[in-house]
Amino acid sequence: MKVLVVGSGGREHALCWKIAQSPLVSEVVCAPGNAGTARVARNVAIPANDVDKLVHLATHEKMGLAVIGPEEPLCLGLADRLRAAGIPVFGPSASGARLEGSKLFAKEFLTRHRIPTAAYRRFDRSGQAKAYLEGCRTWPQVIKADGLAAGKGVFVVHTAKEGCSVIDTVMEERRLGDAGNQIAIEEFLPGEEVSVLAIVDGESLCVLEPVMDHKQVGDGDVGPNTGGMGVYSPVSLFSRRLQWQVEQNILIPTLHGLRRDEIDYRGVLFVGLMLTDAGPRVLEYNCRFGDPETQAVMRRWKGDLVPYLVAAANGKLSELEAPQWDERTCVGVVGAAEGYPASYRKGDVINGLEEAERVEGAVVFHAGTKVGAGNSVLTDGGRVLCVTALGENVEAARKAAYAAFDEIRWDGKFCRRDIGTRRHRAAEVGG
């Protein structure tokens, strides 16, 4: 079977790497891919949001499965178009992708189906939103632009003045374009954040191992939010009891809600959770694998991933046993280009990739990279790559990941140095 993977990030490299190991797969094709996917798949230069060309490619090459990485093509209806053309697809319909594509749709869905989340108000006029903030007695408050904003649409504000200036930027100056036509203002929830990913087929679900992301750019969780600067898995504070709670109170009700709303959802259901004193609360839904969460999940997934992707695409997940997980810890460190998450430099030569992969337990997943002259590898994005390593415990995995990371060189390279250490802080806080 030929498998099409759509996207060009570290998530897609990890997916191509894992799918290419399957005995069921004759070829992996990645559109558009990066310098890393080129090593395990055939890259085809079609952008991830060019729905017409992707449908043509998939039908012309008789793909046995399409796996859609990023949210944008899902929101554009790529899964619906491929299914209509007879291709099995791992990824939700456009109506399902609205859980990520519209924060207000997600908040309404959560409220309608009584799934625990932060209380919120909806605003489509800046004046009303500002008046509401002026009357708020509890701070901080969280302002969320409704539409897709590449991780830049959420603002935690501490005073009415700060909030009003965010509202001006988003709703008056339209800094995020149409994404800011409407906003939600929601209560701030204190706690630890964790991502839970489940593969779903519309009827049943298969929960993946929890992963801890590090969203802020700087050590100690300071600075602006990014797509994710590093991960570790498993997450010690995520106990079996908590997993059960998340399944019963969040994942299963979400699946029921989707069914009741007649939304076709086959793919990844990714919930961003805040673990509050009152229990887990949904901060956001994503309709796809996380990045860099997927890099750690693929490293720890034992056995073949492809049967699960195919079963989800065909509504047959309940026929499979739960996947087996490597007991070891995975730490993933993202290397970014100078300037990220604001405008960043591109086109720098990357050296030391082979040396990095000689470190025991390490695998490097490319993200913003491309092949340059003479088969060199060049930086081509804000998040350039993610170095993952498995170890017997988090310390060993951290040590191997950073040892491999330090073999890699390009001008302007930077990373967070504290990936994996939050685990200890959380364990202490939680007793």
Smallest distance, Å, CB 214 to ligand GLY? 9
**Cβ neighbour number for residue 175 with a 10 Å cutoff:** 16
235, amino acid identity = V
Question: Which one of ligand GLY, ligand AMP, none is in contact with 284 (Cβ closer than 5 to 8 A by kind)?
Answer: ligand AMP
Rounded CA gap, 254 and 272, in Å?
Answer: 13
Rounded CA gap, 404 and 157, in Å?
Answer: 38
Residue 3 or 275 with smaller CB distance to ligand AMP: 275
Smallest distance, Å, CB 409 to ligand GLY? 25
Structure tokens at 195: 């991502």
Residue with tokens 């990279």: 369
Count, residues near ligand GLY per rule CB under 6 A? 7
Structure tokens at 377: 């590898």
Rounded CA gap, 311 and 90, in Å?
Answer: 9
Nearest to 388 by CA among 304, 299, 291: 299
Question: Which one of ligand GLY, ligand AMP, none is in contact with 227 (Cβ closer than 5 to 8 A by kind)?
Answer: ligand GLY
Strand order in the sheet with 377-379: 349-350, 377-379, 369-371
The residue within the footprint of ligand GLY, chosen from 192, 213, 348, 380 (CB under 6 A), is: 213
Question: Which one of ligand GLY, ligand AMP, none is in contact with 118 (Cβ closer than 5 to 8 A by kind)?
Answer: ligand AMP
The residue within the footprint of ligand AMP, chosen from 186, 192, 291, 380 (CB under 6 A), is: 186
Q: Is 142 in the site for ligand AMP (CB under 6 A)?
A: yes
Count, residues near ligand AMP per rule CB under 6 A? 14
Looking from the CA of 253 toward its CB, the CA atoms found within 13 Å total 18
Residue 118 or 404 with smaller CB distance to ligand AMP: 118
Q: Is 116 in the site for ligand AMP (CB under 6 A)?
A: no
Candidate segments 202-210, 285-293, 326-334, 390-398, binder of ligand GLY by CB under 6 A: 285-293
Q: Which residues, including other chains, have CB under 8 Å from residue 390's CB and lie 6 or more apart?
A: 299, 300, 326, 328, 329, 330, 361, 397, 400
Give residues 148-177 in contact with ligand AMP (rule: CB under 6 A).
154, 156
The residue within the footprint of ligand AMP, chosen from 61, 108, 162, 193 (CB under 6 A), is: 193
Q: Is 36 in the site for ligand GLY (CB under 6 A)?
A: no
> Which string of x and - marks every residue 297-336 that binds ligand AMP (by CB under 6 A)?
----------------------------------------
Give residues 267-286 in contact with ligand AMP (rule: CB under 6 A).
272, 274, 283-284
CA–chain centroid gap for 351, Å, is: 27
Give residues 335-364 in contact with ligand AMP (rule: CB under 6 A).
none
Rounded CA gap, 13 and 26, in Å?
Answer: 17
Nearest to 190 by CA among 251, 259, 91, 277: 277
Strands 377-379 and 349-350: antiparallel
The residue within the footprint of ligand GLY, chosen from 209, 291, 348, 407 (CB under 6 A), is: 291
The residue within the footprint of ligand GLY, chosen from 72, 192, 209, 293 (CB under 6 A), is: 293
DSSP string, 178-236: GGGSSEEEEE---SEEEEEEEEE-SS-EEEPPPBEE--EEETTTEEEE-S-SEEEES-T
Residue 193 or 406 with smaller CB distance to ligand AMP: 193
The residue within the footprint of ligand GLY, chosen from 64, 227, 280, 391 (CB under 6 A), is: 227
C-beta separation of 277 from 29 below 8 A? no
Smallest distance, Å, CB 71 to ligand GLY? 8
Question: Which one of ligand GLY, ligand AMP, none is in contact with 378 (Cβ closer than 5 to 8 A by kind)?
Answer: none
Q: How many degrees, rounded to 5, is the angle at CA 299 between CA 279 and CA 239?
A: 20
Q: Is 286 in the site for ligand GLY (CB under 6 A)?
A: yes
Q: Which residues, including other chains, have CB under 8 Å from residue 327's CB and lie 6 or more apart?
A: none
Residue 177 backbone dihedrals phi, psi, to 5 degrees: 65, -145
Q: Is 228 in the site for ligand GLY (CB under 6 A)?
A: yes
The residue within the footprint of ligand AMP, chosen from 176, 189, 385, 390 (CB under 6 A), is: 189
Q: Is 391 in the site for ligand GLY (CB under 6 A)?
A: no
Question: Which one of ligand GLY, ligand AMP, none is in contact with 290 (Cβ closer than 5 to 8 A by kind)?
Answer: ligand GLY
C-beta separation of 275 from 192 below 8 A? yes
349, amino acid identity = V
Q: Which residues are at the interface with ligand GLY (CB under 6 A)?
A: 213, 227-228, 286, 290-291, 293
Q: Which residues are at the interface with ligand AMP (CB under 6 A)?
A: 118, 142, 144, 154, 156, 186, 188-189, 193, 215, 272, 274, 283-284
